[in-house]
């Protein structure tokens, strides 16, 4: 099927990427039913096609002109790219040929007891500095590439058949290789670029055969610090692709920051368009305008694609009118700063949100509407949209003056903090001796990260309580019964430090945010974290403080049931910040200090209630790291300060834990040590203990729990596998520093998986204890 599109209209609106999940989380429902064997592959793919059709129709109805095709994925767009270019590690299937769903999901989730063996999933990590996770492609030095999936071509054909004008998008070849992991020896994946480009060229040829005249090439790596070699790879890639498809316009998109010292490179590449993130890099527009080549299109990313605040439309019109005058509307596009996958779909679904706060917000649907209003104002004049501009101005004014956004007592408390508030009484070696005497733990102490499975019964009880069908007393009795069952099972299986299971908690950020002043919550504001894991980030709209204790009651109840230590479980200030939509009228560091002080109060209340071990999770600590190294030191200084502000008020005998996952630690290990947690647990199972190397090289002085159970896959690792991982850790870290734990919380797993896996983990720890005891006596 072929067609031909004329030139896009003046100031064409592009969305760059649309949320894949469906307004009612239809994709989650379908995926999990498919994985459970309750939905056929045919019906899963039909659901995906229905969502794509609805997405395109909605974007077009909102006034978007350039509709993305290829942005929809069943799990992850980086994994889709790996499938497209045929990079399937040999244990998952044949190196050549079409990548089917079984292979695709095996790489994403691992396999358990199925044909092809018991396989772990590929490693997963954060997408740049967002809370989205991608599957890390694994490439060997002799990697061969071949077309393994035509999903982007097929989706483009679908859009054309439905009467739309699609602009297909691809993750660019250089960013893809920079995100990949070298496997089987030290080499640079960029060495593989010459073999990769022919597959990209073939995909572009197939898109051109459909009549497509433009393709969006997502290269967010252009906002990173790049070496000369990486810059050369960009030149090679786009000179080659431009030569192979001279009639196809390539729109190069670079988002999540300014181009900075890569601007010369971006302007020199033989592409026909460039997208600028003017939210995170507003200052780059003027320089680009002074150097913009004739005949190229410029995409202006002026509406925030990563946050939910309403745009200041009048200011944007002021800023963009001279740009339209200089370059002409025919050469310009209006767009969000980045793909809209990072924001919820539609504010209109939020029927329970405070209407005053709601008028301050814009989700994906509203953001496209804002782009349409900007377009009309710039093409037809402000008078054409005067009422809309006034409504936006008035909403912004009401937000600035709302007393809930400013609490003088909170501001005063932050201002009064001193460096002494961030220091423990004694250094770690002295604390360690006191904590060992107080806790009496064995070698290789075992624990879990916090949460236990949120069963259907737990979810039903929470929902019944929320709608009033279960009284407060009945719900508390239910939670206490679940907690007691969890404590008894942990004692039975032999864990050393227990947790209460977090059955009362919906989400590790939402649960706390709902009890803190300054936070608002949605009911339908879902965004994708990975695969079928969706979250509803809180919205921080005002100054933050803690009106009353949040976790003390249930944690103290759990501790009353056992003589073993029970951990208090808190989400740290940096993660609370990073996993929320943060107010844009106050520096992020200031907001983080407010959260830290609220958590400090909770930590001290837990200690007063007899809790001797308190875990303050910071899985998003590295995620907040700026993309440019020059900006790291400022961020790390306030991030470490905030963690210590939350944790440092306790006695020396109280043991502070933290947890981090999906992070590369090498380049921030000094900051992690500066957090001064007594114990840190980290995700290492998928990487087979590779991530522990940073702690070895640095000679990390405190205790560490390298994860031995990958909780993001359904498989149950055998005891021998966990012993091997612990052996690997013990070769690198002194044995008396090692804790034994899963990679992460167990909320998303089933008890049928958790119970045998934890039993294996405890047995693995006992095996190492026995060996150590034998070595001492021998």
Contact between residue 306 and residue 581 where contact means Cβ atoms under 8 Å apart: no
Cβ-proximal residues to 240 (8 Å cutoff; 6+ apart), any chain: 197, 201
Other C-beta atoms closer than 10 Å to the C-beta of 637 total 13
Tokens of 94: 């044949």
Other C-beta atoms closer than 10 Å to the C-beta of 491 total 14
712 is catalytic: yes
Q: What distance in Å separates the CA atoms of residue 13 and residue 64, rounded to the nearest whole number?
A: 5
Tokens of 121: 């999933």
Show the beta-strand stretches assigned E in 223-293.
Answer: 249-254, 273-277
Q: What distance in Å separates the CA atoms of residue 52 and residue 152, rounded to the nearest whole number?
A: 12
Other C-beta atoms closer than 10 Å to the C-beta of 299 total 25
The catalytic residue among 65, 342, 712, 760 is: 712
Other C-beta atoms closer than 10 Å to the C-beta of 197 total 20
Backbone angles phi, psi at 539, to 5 degrees: -115, 115
- SS3 per residue for 337-368: CCCHHHCCCCHHHCCCCCHHHHCCECCHHHHH
| DSSP sequence for 91-128 | GGS-SSS---HHHHHHHHH--SSBTTB--PPPPEEEST
**Residue located via tokens 């196809």:** 248
Q: What distance in Å separates the CA atoms of residue 16 and residue 170, rounded to the nearest whole number?
A: 11
Show the beta-strand stretches assigned E in 562-602.
Answer: 567-571, 581-582
Q: What distance in Å separates the CA atoms of residue 423 and residue 640, rounded to the nearest whole number?
A: 11
Backbone angles phi, psi at 375, to 5 degrees: -60, -45
Phi-psi region of 588 (alpha: psi -120 to 50; beta: other; left: phi over 0): alpha
Contact between residue 313 and residue 373 where contact means Cβ atoms under 8 Å apart: yes
Q: Work out whether strand 655-660 and strand 679-682 pair parallel, antiparallel, or are unpaired.
A: parallel
The catalytic residue positions are 712
């Amino acid at each position: 099927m072929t067609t031909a599109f004329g030139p896009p209209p003046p100031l064409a609106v592009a969305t760059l990427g649309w949320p894949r999940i469906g307004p009612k989380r239809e994709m989650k429902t379908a995926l999990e039913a498919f994985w459970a064997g309750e939905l056929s592959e045919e019906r899963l793919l039909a659901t995906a096609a229905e969502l794509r059709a609805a997405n395109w129709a909605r974007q077009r109805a909102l006034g978007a002109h350039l509709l993305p095709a290829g942005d929809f994925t069943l799990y992850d767009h980086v994994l889709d790219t790996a499938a497209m270019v045929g990079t399937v590690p040999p244990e998952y299937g044949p190196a050549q040929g079409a990548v089917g769903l079984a292979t695709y999901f095996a790489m994403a989730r691992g396999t358990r007891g199925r044909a092809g063996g018991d396989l772990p999933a590929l490693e997963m990590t954060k997408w740049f500095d967002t809370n989205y996770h991608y599957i890390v492609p694994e490439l060997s030095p002799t990697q061969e590439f071949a077309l393994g999936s035509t999903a982007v071509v097929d989706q483009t054909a679908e859009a054309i058949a439905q009467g739309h004008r699609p602009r297909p998008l691809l993750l660019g070849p250089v960013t893809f290789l920079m995100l990949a992991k070298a496997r089987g020896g030290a080499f640079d994946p960029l060495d593989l670029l010459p073999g990769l480009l022919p597959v990209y060229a073939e995909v572009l040829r197939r898109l051109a055969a459909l009549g497509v005249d433009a393709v969006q090439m997502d290269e967010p790596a252009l906002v990173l610090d790049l070496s000369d070699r990486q810059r050369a790879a960009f030149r090679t890639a786009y000179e080659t692709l431009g030569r192979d498809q001279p009639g196809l316009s390539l729109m190069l998109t670079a988002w999540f920051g300014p181009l900075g010292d890569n601007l010369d490179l971006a302007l020199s590449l033989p592409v026909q368009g460039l997208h600028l993130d003017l939210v995170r890099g507003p200052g780059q527009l003027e320089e680009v305008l002074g150097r913009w080549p004739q005949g190229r299109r410029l995409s202006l990313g002026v509406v925030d694609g990563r946050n939910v605040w309403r745009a200041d439309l009048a200011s944007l019109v002021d800023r963009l009118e001279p740009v339209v005058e200089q370059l002409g509307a025919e050469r310009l596009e209006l767009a969000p700063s980045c793909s809209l996958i990072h924001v919820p779909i539609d504010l209109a679904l939020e029927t329970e949100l405070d209407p005053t706060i709601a008028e301050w917000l814009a989700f994906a649907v509203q953001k496209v509407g804002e782009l349409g209003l900007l377009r009309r104002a710039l093409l037809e004049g402000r008078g054409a949209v005067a009422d809309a501009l006034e409504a936006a101005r008035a909403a912004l004014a009401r937000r600035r003056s709302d007393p809930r956004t400013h609490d003088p007592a909170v501001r005063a408390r932050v201002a009064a903090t001193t460096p002494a508030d961030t220091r423990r009484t004694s250094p770690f070696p002295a604390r360690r001796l006191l904590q060992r005497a107080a806790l009496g733990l064995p070698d290789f102490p075992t624990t879990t990260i916090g949460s236990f499975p949120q069963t259907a019964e737990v979810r039903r009880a929470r929902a019944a309580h929320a709608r009033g069908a279960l009284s407060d007393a009945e719900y508390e009795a239910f939670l206490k019964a679940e907690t007691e069952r969890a404590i008894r099972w942990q004692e039975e299986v032999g864990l050393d430090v227990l947790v209460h299971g977090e059955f009362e908690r919906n989400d590790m950020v939402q649960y706390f945010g709902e009890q803190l002043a300054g936070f608002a919550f949605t009911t339908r504001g879902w965004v994708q974290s990975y695969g079928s894991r969706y979250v509803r980030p809180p919205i921080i709209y005002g100054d933050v403080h803690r009106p009353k204790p949040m976790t003390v009651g249930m944690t103290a109840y759990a501790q009353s049931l056992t003589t073993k230590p029970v951990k208090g479980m808190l989400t740290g200030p940096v993660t609370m910040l990073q996993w929320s939509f943060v107010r844009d009228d106050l520096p992020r560091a200031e907001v983080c200090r407010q959260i830290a002080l609220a958590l400090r109060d909770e930590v001290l209340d837990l200690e007063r209630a007899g809790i001797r071990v308190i875990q303050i999770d910071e899985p998003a600590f590295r995620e907040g790291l700026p993309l440019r190294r020059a900006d790291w030191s400022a961020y790390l200084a306030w991030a470490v300060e905030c963690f210590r502000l939350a944790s440092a008020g306790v006695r020396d005998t109280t043991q502070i834990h933290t947890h981090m996952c999906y992070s590369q630690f090498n380049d921030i290990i000094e900051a992690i040590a500066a957090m001064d947690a007594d114990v840190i647990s980290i995700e290492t199972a998928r990487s087979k203990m590779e991530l522990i190397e940073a702690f070895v090289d640095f000679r990390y002085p405190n205790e560490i729990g390298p994860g031995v159970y990958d909780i993001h896959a359904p498989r149950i690792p055998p005891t021998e596998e966990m012993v091997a991982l612990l052996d690997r850790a013990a070769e690198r870290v002194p044995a008396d520093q090692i804790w034994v734990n899963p990679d992460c919380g167990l909320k998303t797993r089933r008890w049928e998986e958790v119970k045998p896996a934890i039993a294996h983990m405890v047995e693995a720890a006992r095996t190492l204890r026995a060996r150590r005891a034998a070595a001492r006596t021998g």
